[in-house]
Amino acid sequence: MLTSEEAMIKKLLILTLVAAALTSCTNQVYDLVIAEANVLDVQTGQAALQHVYVKDGKIAALSAADKRVSEKSALRMVEAKGQLLTPGLVDVHFHTSEILGEELSTDADSILRYRQKFAAAYLPYGVTTVRSGGDSEAYIPMLQAWQEPSPAYPDFIAVGAALVSTPRDPRPVYSGHVVVNNPEEAIAKIDQYHQLGFTNTKLYWRLREPEFKAALNRAKELGVQPFGHIDYKVLPLEEAVKAGLKNIEHAYTVGIAAIDSAKYEYINAWAFVDHYPKAIKNNAVDGSFFISRMELFNQLGPNHPRMLELIELLKAHEVSVTPTIHLFAQRFGLTYFTTPAKLAAYDYTEYLVEEERIRCRQGYFIMGQYIKQMHEAGVQLNLGTDWDDPGKAALSEMLELHEIGIPMPDVFRIATLNGAKAVGMADTIGTVEVGKRANLVLFSQSPLEKPENLLAPKVVIKDGVAVNR
């Protein structure tokens, strides 16, 4: 028999235990709570007020924002006060040379310093995942080190170098390329990169059909995501698509595929410069990359039947396209910043007179119409920069996609979920959903109300850690 005092103590003890158990299951402590955020669902384009709970770098819970969140439930609280919260942005086309130049050191200290530069170029702008478009094989140790997950850096998806066949012309092989001389070497290269932990691969247009098909098929067998820059009709776009290529780099290459090459003896940077007498007078090659691609679209004009046919083909084969239009927009004064021309002549367009510049802009907007048509037809677009100042360029690419007629909520889907799908990471990133990594951007002013608000101050959260305030 218990005395009444002992019984009382026992009762109290049980009550205390019950209370403790209740507290632990109702008052879960999260690492971070973002209270009253206007959370964008990039799949529906709708935003709703929610509290977002983050634990161990992941989104642990979401709840309607009708009740206040207790201060005690989070180690850290961000009061969003109705600001727009989106998934972190995904740039699917980057080269280390764009922020670091060439001839890098590969010692451990340098690798770390370069990685800090990489983070500074991207994270403050909201880009939390970056896929390479090909880098020198000399940097493989650096690429591997950058792939180590960390809240302090954007996720990095290396591809190694871009594959090319044995060159048939005397041009040197670019530093970011690697030659595969036959299908066996192409397969061996895909295997080697796969063993290094590279989940994506890059097939460059100088890769001819036997090596292209061998590399593509091997990549698919291994579950490696292949991206192709298909150009100059070395391999016709239709062939690449029918062989199973699912991601196309650069929207302008669809224009190259559509133009009648019999009419133009060869499709390259020189072919259209005839339309720019002043360009010829000033040594025809200057700026020819930019001028010729814009002129290509002037030549095609809007609604060219071949372009519409190719858009149908891309749709039918579920091929995604990464437009990369910022790089043209910035050259022709169409966006909020311009990268100074590099010494390379191809990048130099300063000498163009206004009339020529206007003609380039016309070509740009014709290209833009085709990109909009791709989007409306249901072709998946991805965000890719392929240019200097890549974080700034990513925001510019979004503004430009909107400028050509794509609604802002769709632009956000392109910049987040679509990229995540293209690089094979849609299970873990690309939406604000329970279980996904807490890679998030909180915009102080909503880009849904005014697109230029993309440039407004923002809080960027990588793996649950706020990068900047």
Can you give the binding site for Zn ion, defined by CB under 5 A?
133, 386
Of 114 and 205, CB closest to Zn ion: 205
The token pair that represents 1 in the structure block: 């028999």
Of 133 and 323, CB closest to Zn ion: 133
The least distance separating Zn ion from the CB of residue 136, rounded to whole angstroms, comes to 13
Dist CA 162 CA 180 (whole Å):
10
Residue 393: phi and psi, rounded to 5, are -65, -35
The least distance separating Zn ion from the CB of residue 197, rounded to whole angstroms, comes to 21
Across 96-187, where does the E strand assignment appear?
Answer: 127-132, 155-157, 162-164, 177-179
DSSP 167-219: PSSSSPPPTTEEE--SHHHHHHHHHHHHHTT--EEEE-TTS-HHHHHHHHHHH
Of 228 and 430, CB closest to Zn ion: 228
Dist CA 148 CA 272 (whole Å):
45
The least distance separating Zn ion from the CB of residue 373, rounded to whole angstroms, comes to 24
The CA-based diameter of the chain, rounded to the nearest angstrom, is 110
The least distance separating Zn ion from the CB of residue 204, rounded to whole angstroms, comes to 9
Nearest residue to Zn ion by CB is: 133
Q: Are the C-beta atoms of residues 199 and 423 closer than 8 Å to each other?
A: yes
DSSP 401-426: HHHTT--HHHHHHIIIIIHHHHTT-T
DSSP 8-state code for residue 83: -
Residue 212: phi and psi, rounded to 5, are -60, -50
The least distance separating Zn ion from the CB of residue 93, rounded to whole angstroms, comes to 6
Of 385 and 431, CB closest to Zn ion: 385
Of 356 and 386, CB closest to Zn ion: 386
Of 78 and 240, CB closest to Zn ion: 240
DSSP 8-state code for residue 423: T
Of 91 and 356, CB closest to Zn ion: 91
Q: Are the C-beta atoms of residues 56 and 418 closer than 8 Å to each other?
A: no
Secondary structure class of 266 (helix, strand, coil): coil
Of 133 and 464, CB closest to Zn ion: 133
The least distance separating Zn ion from the CB of residue 446, rounded to whole angstroms, comes to 32
Of 126 and 134, CB closest to Zn ion: 134
Dist CA 193 CA 206 (whole Å):
19
Dist CA 163 CA 152 (whole Å):
31
Dist CA 362 CA 269 (whole Å):
18
The least distance separating Zn ion from the CB of residue 252, rounded to whole angstroms, comes to 12
Residue 116: phi and psi, rounded to 5, are -65, -40
Secondary structure class of 407 (helix, strand, coil): coil
The least distance separating Zn ion from the CB of residue 203, rounded to whole angstroms, comes to 12
The least distance separating Zn ion from the CB of residue 305, rounded to whole angstroms, comes to 29
Residue 118's H or E segment, with its range, is helix 108-122
Of 293 and 462, CB closest to Zn ion: 293
The least distance separating Zn ion from the CB of residue 133, rounded to whole angstroms, comes to 4
Q: Are the C-beta atoms of residues 188 and 217 closer than 8 Å to each other?
A: no
Of 91 and 463, CB closest to Zn ion: 91
The least distance separating Zn ion from the CB of residue 134, rounded to whole angstroms, comes to 6
Q: Are the C-beta atoms of residues 433 and 85 closer than 8 Å to each other?
A: no
Integer CA distances (angstroms), 91 to 150, 241, 390, in order = 17, 23, 8
